[in-house]
Amino acid sequence: VTYPELEIYNKDWQMVSGEARKLLAEITDEKLDSIYKVPEMPEMDMPFFDMIGYSIHRESYLIGQIGLWRRLLGYPAMKYPGM
């Protein structure tokens, strides 16, 4: 398996982060209170506010799992710019 270079991931991360930040800053209370529907999984219907919180929590969990797997496979810890 060949993975993209780290620079590509960083560029994509910056683009996605900027778009997400803009959308979150502009979202209305009405939209946050409206229901997010998943046709394939009606049990997952929830307010957009809750779905955003769930998605952020899930992303944080997965980032932690990547760090754990890096350690288990003998790779160095992740480093963040400016740290």
Beta bridge pairs of residue 47: 35
DSSP character string of 28-45: -HHHHHSEE--TT-GGG-
Instruction: Give residue 18's pLDDT.
Output: 92
What pLDDT, in 10s, does the model give residues 21-46?
A: 999 999 999 999 999 998 899 888 99
Residue 32, Cβ density class (10 Å: 0-12 exposed, 13-18 middle, ≥19 buried) = middle
* pLDDT mean over 47-51: 96
- Flag whether the pTM goes above 0.85: no
pLDDT at 82: 72
**Residue spans per domain, the chain:** 6-72
When mean pLDDT is compared across 1-5, 14-18, 42-46, 66-70, the lowest value belongs to: 1-5
